Amino acid sequence: MKRRKFIKKASLSGAGIALGHTLMSCNENAENKLVTPVTTSTTSSLPLVIATWHVENATAKAMEVLQAGGSSLDAVEQGCRVEEANEKGQSVGKGGLPDRDGKVTLDACIMDKHGNCGSVVFLKDIKHAVSVARKVMENTPHVILAGDGAKQFAISEGFEPENLLTEASKEAWEEWNLKSEYKPIINIENHDTIGMLAIDKNGDISGACTTSGLAYKMSGRVGDSPIIGSGLFVDNEIGACVATGLGEEVVKTVGSFLVVELMRQGRTPQQACEEAIGRIVNKPNSNYKDFQVGYIAVNKKGETGSYSIHQWFSMTKFQDGKNEQIQSDFFNKTKAT
Ligand code: ASP
């Protein structure tokens, strides 16, 4: 398919742009309404860390920081860096799948217990986007830096530029480029886009999120992950939430802020995640069967929740010496594969 046709097709289908690894093809269930909220959370001991997908190495690193008395902010940054450096993960940092011009561009953000935040969008050639986001938060009067400005800032802070496109990701892009066509992919195995939330020994909450975004996206496309309130939100009085999946849908409902506000109104993290997914799937004409969105959340008591539109979303949770992957409950129960 020619590029122009691809643009047309993508825009005609609304959110219909290939989400690479996180987009699933699912059967529609017109009858399917939001399932009765399940309250699987339990009040928990601290510290704790949760992350999107199965990223036990990353949560282990974050827990190591927390156990050593480190802050939740240090923990989420260090945890995310593990996946950014993991070249095998094709949705974050080095080795991330590129945009359709073959360029890897990263989005990331971080938020601390005071509500301070920093973010980078369309960052090229710097693997540790989450750490650049932290520097934006701590060393500039701004919240978001984009593109060349973000890269120049990173270099001025001592980050080394490097080529983020690995051979494996280049090959995958070249293969995609043969047809350049939009095609939802069922792939449950390679989810490394990482959103992480932690509560430290003092009970303070921080969060971070880092991604290479939608595989083969239009150049310049930015998803939800670096948008405070959409991909991530932390309110140290209430709790925190982080999102994964098709960012366009998360942005439209300001998903993570919504989850935190629902917790403020008394919902458990589980109930809040389910209600936020409900806002997406219950929209008139929602084409939710074509895309995946998942949320994980934690409240001030250390109760956690996670929920997604389709099956196979999971949360990694490290608490009380146990670092485990937990399958999320999901909305579209019919004929999920
Ligand atoms: N939310 C990310 C984005 O839309 C992608 C992902 O979570 O896999 O850029």
Instruction: Establish whether residue 224 lines the binding site of ligand 1, counting it when its CB lies within 6 angstroms of any ligand atom.
Output: yes
Global pTM exceeds 0.85: yes
Distance in angstroms (rounded) separating the CA atoms of residues 311 and 292: 9
Instruction: Establish whether residue 90 lines the binding site of ligand 1, counting it when its CB lies within 6 angstroms of any ligand atom.
Output: no
Are 241 and 295 in contact by the 8 Å Cβ rule? The answer is yes
Over 80: is that where the pLDDT of 174 sits?
yes
Domain 3-22+29-333 fold:
Glutamine Phosphoribosylpyrophosphate, subunit 1, domain 1 (3.60.20)
Rounded to 5 degrees, φ, ψ at 209 are: -150, 135
Query: Which ligand 1 atom is at minimum distance from the Cα of 212?
Result: 9
d(CA 329, ligand 1 centre) in Å: 19
Over 80: is that where the pLDDT of 43 sits?
no
Q: Whose CA is nearest to atom 5 of ligand 1?
A: 213
Domain ranges of the chain: 3-22+29-333
Over 50: is that where the pLDDT of 18 sits?
no
Q: Whose CA is nearest to atom 8 of ligand 1?
A: 245
Q: Minimal CA–CA distance to 169: which of 21, 327, 326, 319?
A: 21
> Would you tell me how many other CB atoms lie within 10 Å of the CB of residue 156?
10
Instruction: Establish whether residue 329 lines the binding site of ligand 1, counting it when its CB lies within 6 angstroms of any ligand atom.
Output: no
d(CA 69, ligand 1 centre) in Å: 31
d(CA 244, ligand 1 centre) in Å: 5
Strand order across the 322-327 sheet? 144-146, 117-123, 106-111, 205-211, 194-199, 48-52, 314-319, 322-327
Mean pLDDT of 140-169: 97
Query: Which ligand 1 atom is at minimum distance from the Cα of 247?
Result: 4
| Whether residue 36 lies in the annotated active site | no
Query: Which ligand 1 atom is at minimum distance from the Cα of 195?
Result: 7
Instruction: Establish whether residue 22 lines the binding site of ligand 1, counting it when its CB lies within 6 angstroms of any ligand atom.
Output: yes
Residue from 52, 59, 193, 253 carrying the catalytic annotation: 193
Per-residue model confidence (pLDDT) at position 258: 98
Instruction: Establish whether residue 92 lines the binding site of ligand 1, counting it when its CB lies within 6 angstroms of any ligand atom.
Output: no
Per-residue model confidence (pLDDT) at position 34: 37
Over 90: is that where the pLDDT of 104 sits?
yes
Mean pLDDT of 258-279: 98
Query: Which ligand 1 atom is at minimum distance from the Cα of 20?
Result: 8
| Amino acid at residue number 51 | A
d(CA 201, ligand 1 centre) in Å: 30
d(CA 216, ligand 1 centre) in Å: 12
Mean pLDDT of 244-259: 95
